[in-house]
């Protein structure tokens, strides 16, 4: 396994918040393949820094001067690619995009050999892949940080932005009743872990046979128990929605599963988020989706376009949460940017 490089910090102001400083010290040079790679304190610190970066973007214009980021994507992307590229560019760094949609990583040469080349040219590797093993193998062989920008198993950057958005709306995720309705997929996995890390009560409602992976369920329940919150798995979306502060859904056919579209459509029809389902939630409840949405499939136009919908706030916060993550992994906090205690 490659030894990670501790990255020297550039001459930009140092964050004074002790929680963020502790996270910066631990995460400098590390990978982020899974939300499970982070402690609860580190998840909170990333979101705290994300809020600060969003409020004061000019303070971080030179935080990552001359840093090089490569994005190697096997899957199509809008939000992930643009938010990462804009994020590092606005902090003084540079993004290089490598389209792997027609040549999956590991096909032309081994992932280990790719890692040993790329680590010599760039400061961080951002991957969007099918197999989660591609990400973990790259991380095991790279001396620079590797970030999971989506795999078939997890979507951690999405979940960080989502809970940052919930903090904006509710002040804190702790004690929130968060409901996910739909396929127990990669997004669901990362939401379960992040919610548990932040003390939210997470309810997941999926059709029989489409539950989240048991290893993620077990880990999320352990984290939830440690943080005084609860994880529930149900097969009734109506019951799951009762009293929820937030209802979240995703497409029922993720990338790579298109061949199952005809089979899945009738199975997931009762799990559609529509006005009737939203009425089961708390009056102040918000609707969430990672996008792109299949309108009038997993969610109706009436819901996604309603005042309850915060889907575009989620999309915006991909930028800010990922900027915070890059700052922490690349040693971008030095010499006094003041992060106020919250």
Is it the case that residue 14 has pLDDT exceeding 50? no
* pTM for this model (two decimals): 0.94
Same domain, 167 and 96: no
Is it the case that residue 255 has pLDDT exceeding 90? no
Same domain, 89 and 168: no
Q: Which of 157, 188, 252, 290 is an active site residue?
A: 290
Cα separation, 174 vs 197, in Å, equals 9
Same domain, 164 and 126: no
In the chain, the percentage of residues whose pLDDT exceeds 90 is: 88
Q: Which of 67, 132, 155, 189 is an active site residue?
A: 155
Quick check: is 62 catalytic? no
Is it the case that residue 260 has pLDDT exceeding 90? no
Quick check: is 320 catalytic? no
Average pLDDT over residues 295-317: 97
Is it the case that residue 267 has pLDDT exceeding 80? yes
Residue 6 has a pLDDT of: 72
Residue 341 has a pLDDT of: 44
Is it the case that residue 42 has pLDDT exceeding 50? yes
Is it the case that residue 261 has pLDDT exceeding 80? no
As beta bridge partners, residue 26 has none
Is 112 part of a structural domain of the chain? Answer: yes
Same domain, 150 and 184: no
Count of domains for the chain: 2
Is 90 part of a structural domain of the chain? Answer: yes
Same domain, 150 and 205: no
What digits encode the pLDDT tens for the residues 121-133?
999 999 999 999 9
Quick check: is 158 catalytic? yes
Are 143 and 2 in contact by the 8 Å Cβ rule? The answer is: yes
> In the structure, what pLDDT confidence band is assigned to residue 2 with cuts at 50, 70 and 90?
confident
Whichever domain contains 70, its CATH number is: 3.40.50.1370
Cα separation, 11 vs 65, in Å, equals 9
Q: Which domain holds residue 201?
A: 158-315
Is it the case that residue 323 has pLDDT exceeding 80? yes
Average pLDDT over residues 272-286: 98
> In the structure, what pLDDT confidence band is assigned to residue 263 with cuts at 50, 70 and 90?
confident
Quick check: is 290 catalytic? yes
Residue 212 has a pLDDT of: 98
Is 340 part of a structural domain of the chain? Answer: no
Same domain, 143 and 198: no
> In the structure, what pLDDT confidence band is assigned to residue 195 with cuts at 50, 70 and 90?
very high
Q: Which residues contact 279 (CB under 8 A, 6 or more apart)?
A: none
- b/e code 95-112 from CB counts within 10 Å (16+ = b): beeeebeeeebbeeeebe
In the chain, the percentage of residues whose pLDDT exceeds 70 is: 93
Mean pLDDT of the chain: 93
Q: Which of 272, 318, 320, 322 is an active site residue?
A: 318
Same domain, 131 and 73: yes
What digits encode the pLDDT tens for the residues 216-230?
999 999 999 999 999
For residue 138, the Cα-to-chain-centroid distance in whole angstroms is 19
Cα separation, 100 vs 127, in Å, equals 10
Same domain, 182 and 305: yes
Residue 206 has a pLDDT of: 98
Q: Which of 17, 33, 81, 158 is an active site residue?
A: 158
Q: Which of 31, 183, 245, 250 is an active site residue?
A: 250
Average pLDDT over residues 14-37: 90
What digits encode the pLDDT tens for the residues 73-124?
999 999 999 999 999 999 999 999 999 999 999 999 999 999 999 999 999 9
> In the structure, what pLDDT confidence band is assigned to residue 1 with cuts at 50, 70 and 90?
low
Q: Which of 51, 128, 132, 320 is an active site residue?
A: 128
Same domain, 47 and 175: no
Same domain, 167 and 224: yes
Cα separation, 69 vs 334, in Å, equals 20
Residue 257 has a pLDDT of: 65
Residue 235 has a pLDDT of: 98
Same domain, 95 and 212: no
Is 342 part of a structural domain of the chain? Answer: no
Give the range among 15-24, 163-172, 181-190 with minimum mean pLDDT. 15-24
Same domain, 72 and 174: no
Quick check: is 318 catalytic? yes
């Amino acid at each position: 396994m490659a030894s990670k490089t501790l990255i020297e910090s550039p001459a930009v102001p140092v964050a004074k918040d002790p929680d963020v400083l502790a996270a910066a010290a631990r995460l400098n040079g590390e990978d982020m393949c899974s939300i499970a790679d982070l402690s609860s304190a580190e998840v909170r610190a990333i979101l705290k820094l994300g809020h600060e970066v969003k409020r004061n973007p000019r303070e971080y214009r030179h935080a990552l001067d001359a840093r090089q980021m490569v994005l190697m994507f096997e899957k199509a992307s809008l939000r992930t690619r643009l938010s990462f590229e804009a994020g590092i560019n606005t902090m003084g760094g540079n993004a290089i995009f490598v389209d792997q949609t027609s040549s999956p990583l590991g096909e032309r040469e081994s992932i280990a050999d790719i890692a040993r080349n790329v680590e010599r040219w760039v400061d961080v590797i951002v991957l969007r892949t099918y197999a989660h093993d591609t990400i973990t193998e790259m991380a095991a062989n790279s001396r620079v940080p590797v970030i999971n920008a989506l795999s078939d198993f997890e979507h951690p950057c999405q979940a960080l932005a989502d809970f940052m958005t919930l903090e904006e709306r509710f002040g804190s995720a702790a004690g929130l009743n968060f409901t996910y309705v739909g396929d127990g997929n990669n997004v669901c996995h990362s939401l379960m872990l992040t919610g548990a890390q932040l003390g939210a009560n997470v309810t997941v409602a999926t059709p029989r046979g489409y539950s989240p992976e048991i290893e993620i369920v077990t880990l999320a329940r352990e984290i939830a128990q440690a943080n005084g919150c609860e994880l529930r798995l149900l097969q009734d979306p109506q019951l799951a929605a009762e009293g929820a502060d937030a209802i979240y859904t995703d497409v029922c056919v993720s990338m790579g599963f298109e061949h199952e579209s005809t089979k899945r459509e009738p199975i997931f029809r009762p799990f559609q988020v529509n006005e009737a389902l939203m009425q089961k939630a708390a009056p102040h409840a918000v609707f969430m989706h990672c996008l792109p949405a299949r309108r009038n499939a997993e969610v109706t136009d009436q819901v996604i376009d309603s005042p309850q919908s915060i889907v575009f706030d989620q999309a915006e916060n991909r930028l800010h949460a990922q900027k915070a993550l890059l700052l922490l992994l690349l040693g971008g906090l030095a010499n006094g940017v003041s992060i106020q205690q919250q």
